[in-house]
């Protein structure tokens, strides 16, 4: 397995094109390079000036290296009226985050925007999953910009995949020895044929996992999985409902 890390590799395997009106909380976290800006990670709008993402997406960065885009389906299309591109004023990483520890604990961070977003049909604030909530046994939806297969060309358009949440015990059993606990949330489709299992991989890091009726709750933030994107192991997320106090106080 590998830590999902920011960079130009972006994949949701065996996914379908998403609808921005269904995922108006989706954000693209972009990094600056010598060649310009590129999409590195996903994120979720949790306030008009706050984006929730994975700690490893913003670790070691300064505010001048990061920007956020919302209200966008196609990252490389001509500018559209409802797209908003916003700079960053500050970055917050959970003090308990440990990149090299087993299970990559507390992989959660907040991006503060330099000005507040305008809310619309295509830009909305996500509902955080309630404390103690579990959606095990039901399907959740993961979204991001990326590949439809491990060796396929990168898609510039937002993709989604629906995949069942599994219990923490099952996730521990399938990963055999990784330090997975209640602060993680895992998805895995044991029913899908090998090779056709949906999966989140590198570059969809930090992106939202929505669960519950009509997928209305932000339950997870994409953290890590396997680099092969096979879907043969669970994808692992930071469980948002375990960090509500931290989010509120930051």
Specify the pLDDT at position 105: 93
For 145-199, write each residue's pLDDT tens digit.
Answer: 865 555 555 568 888 888 888 888 988 888 876 788 899 998 887 665 455 545 5
> Which residue in the block uniquely carries the two structure tokens 């994107």?
229
For 7-63, write each residue's pLDDT tens digit.
Answer: 333 445 555 667 777 899 999 999 998 889 988 889 999 999 999 999 999 999 999
Fold of 12-16+126-241: Thrombin, subunit H (2.40.10)
Which residue among the candidates 205, 223, 235, 241 is catalytic per the annotation?
Answer: 205
Is it true that 12-16+126-241 and 24-125 share their CATH fold? Answer: yes
Q: Which of 81, 62, 61 is nearest to 71 (CA)?
A: 81
Give catalytic status of residue 121 as yes or no. Answer: no
Q: Which of 204, 198, 242, 248 is nearest to 224 (CA)?
A: 204
CB atoms within 10 A of CB 155: 19
Which residue among the candidates 39, 56, 94, 184 is catalytic per the annotation?
Answer: 56
Give catalytic status of residue 107 as yes or no. Answer: yes
Specify the pLDDT at position 86: 98
Q: Provide the CA 127 distance to its chain's centre, in angstroms.
A: 15
Sequence spans of domains, the chain: 12-16+126-241, 24-125
Which of the pair, 51 or 6, is modelled with greater confidence?
51
CB atoms within 10 A of CB 97: 18
- Per CATH, the number for 24-125 is 2.40.10.10
Give catalytic status of residue 25 as yes or no. Answer: no
For 194-247, write each residue's pLDDT tens digit.
Answer: 555 455 554 478 999 999 999 999 999 988 765 545 556 788 899 999 999 999
pTM for the structure as a whole: 0.88
């Amino acid at each position: 397995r590998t830590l999902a890390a920011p960079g130009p590799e972006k994949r949701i395997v065996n996914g379908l094109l998403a609808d921005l009106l269904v995922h108006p909380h989706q954000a693209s976290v972009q990094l600056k390079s010598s060649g310009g800006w590129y999409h590195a990670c996903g994120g979720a709008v949790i306030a008009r000036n706050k984006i929730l993402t994975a700690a490893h997406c913003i670790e070691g960065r300064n505010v001048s290296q990061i920007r956020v885009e919302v209200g966008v389906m196609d990252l490389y299309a001509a500018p559209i009226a409802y797209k908003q591109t916003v700079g960053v004023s500050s970055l917050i990483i959970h003090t308990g985050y440990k990149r090299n520890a087993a299970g990559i604990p507390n992989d959660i961070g907040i991006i503060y925007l330099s000005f507040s977003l305008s809310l619309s049909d295509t830009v909305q604030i996500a509902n955080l999953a309630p404390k103690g909530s579990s959606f095990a046994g039901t399907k959740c939806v993961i979204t991001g910009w990326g590949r439809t297969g491990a060796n396929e060309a990168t898609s510039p358009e937002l993709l989604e995949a629906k995949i069942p949440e599994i219990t923490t015990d099952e996730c521990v059993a399938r990963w055999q020895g990784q330090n997975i606990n209640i602060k993680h949330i895992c998805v895995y489709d044991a029913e899908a044929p090998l090779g056709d299992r949906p999966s989140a991989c590198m570059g969809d890091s930090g992106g939202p996992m929505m669960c519950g009726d009509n997928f209305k709750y932000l339950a997870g933030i994409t953290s890590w999985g396997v680099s092969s994107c096979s879907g043969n192991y669970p994808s692992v997320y930071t469980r948002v409902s375990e960090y509500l106090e931290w989010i509120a106080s930051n």
